[in-house]
Amino acid sequence: MRADRLVAVLLLLQARGRVTATQVAAEMEVSVATARRDLEALSAAGIPVYPQAGRGGGWALLGGARTDLSGLRAAEARALFLLLGPAAAIAPEAKAALRKLVRALPSTFRQEAEAAAEAVVVDPAGWGEHRRTRPALVDLLEDAVVRRRKARLTYSGRERLVSPLGLVDKDDTWYLIAETPDGRRTFRADRITDAEITQEAAERPARFDLAAAWEEVVTAMEARRATTTATATVDACYLPVLRDRFGRHCEVISQGERVRVALTAPTARDIARQLAGWGDLVVVEGPQAVHDELAKLAAQLTTLYGQRNP
């Protein structure tokens, strides 16, 4: 992963003071041309990395500038590695980055940081499921975001030139948020049939915040989906499970031993299908359309299974 390598190059510069492209290539196990591009990328990003001409030249941080982790407090270092540790369990690149970051920490913090990095493991596959693989195009799109280059996409049979702004992984489905000639758009990565990075610089709005942009996308999408609302009650002990199933489509109206909630979905039948397996644990107050759909599902199940001999 290029971002991981750029961090490693920066730490190498800090540790040695001055390096050549050949030394960077040997340390990072890349070609000299790639090492030179990485050094140029650091300089282009505004980090004071400059080439030094002449005998004994190379690349150095101007004025001995330091971009490291030595300013972290112990609690901050622990929190950082608790966050990065789970990623290292499923991404070899993250594991390599962690090793390099540990070496950059003050020695007094290293033991706790290493322990924090190994404290949590993330297994993204459910029971009985195979772990899903990251779509191949995601790496290319991520590279376009990091390098701030426009990308040419083939999406739904149409070619588009976009300025990638960021990627979102939502429950193993990847989305690309990008600027287009028609405004900001969101693309599902698995519907992109082809992509290539161009040499044209991408436009990025000032103060762009990926999390805020994604929240806008989700809010708009949920508003389109949540056209039917049902009111129901459930025992307080089952509320966490119900909220897990409905997500942001479950809103608490009032608390108590029985919690009153509002459940939303595109249609009454969608709500009924999600509640059918709850039996009498969830009691729907209304609307009548959801009652009707639950009754239909109950009749279908009774017809299918109720007359069978034990």
For 42-51, what is each residue's pLDDT tens digit? 777 666 777 7
Closest CA to 85 of 113, 57, 47: 113
Please state the rounded mean pLDDT for residues 91-102. Answer: 65
Top pLDDT among 40 and 161 is at 161
Mean pLDDT check: name the lowest of 16-25, 54-63, 186-195.
54-63
CA dist 23 → 11, 28, 35, 60, 201 (Å): 13, 9, 9, 13, 29
Q: pLDDT tens for residues 103-137?
A: 666 565 566 666 665 565 555 555 565 556 667 78
Nearest 5 degrees, angle CA 28-CA 142-CA 101? 40
Domain boundaries, the chain: 2-64, 74-117, 136-222, 226-306
Split at pLDDT 50, 70, 90, the class of 101 is low
Architecture of the domain made up of 136-222? Roll (2.30)
Residue type for 16, please?
R
Q: Return the residue matching tokens 């107050």.
A: 285
Q: pLDDT tens for residues 173-184?
A: 888 999 998 888
Question: CATH code for 2-64?
Answer: 1.10.10.10
Question: Which residues are CB-contacts of 162 (< 8 A; sequence separation ≥ 6)?
Answer: 150, 151, 152, 153, 176, 178, 179, 180, 185, 187
Q: pLDDT tens for residues 224-268?
A: 767 788 999 999 898 988 888 887 788 899 988 899 999 988 889
- Predicted confidence at residue 303, as pLDDT, reads 85
- Predicted confidence at residue 285, as pLDDT, reads 92
- Predicted confidence at residue 67, as pLDDT, reads 47
Please state the rounded mean pLDDT for residues 190-219. Answer: 86
Q: Which of 42-51, 137-146, 288-297 has the highest mean pLDDT?
A: 288-297
Mean pLDDT check: name the lowest of 9-13, 192-196, 200-204, 290-294.
9-13
The pair of three-digit structure tokens given for residue 301, joined into one six-digit string: 């199940």
DSSP 107-160: HHHHHHHHHHHTS-----SPTT-PPPPPPHHHHHHHHHHHHTEEEEEEETTEEE
Give this prediction's pTM.
Answer: 0.51
The pair of three-digit structure tokens given for residue 282, joined into one six-digit string: 């969830």
273 in helix, strand or coil? helix
Architecture of the domain made up of 226-306? 2-Layer Sandwich (3.30)
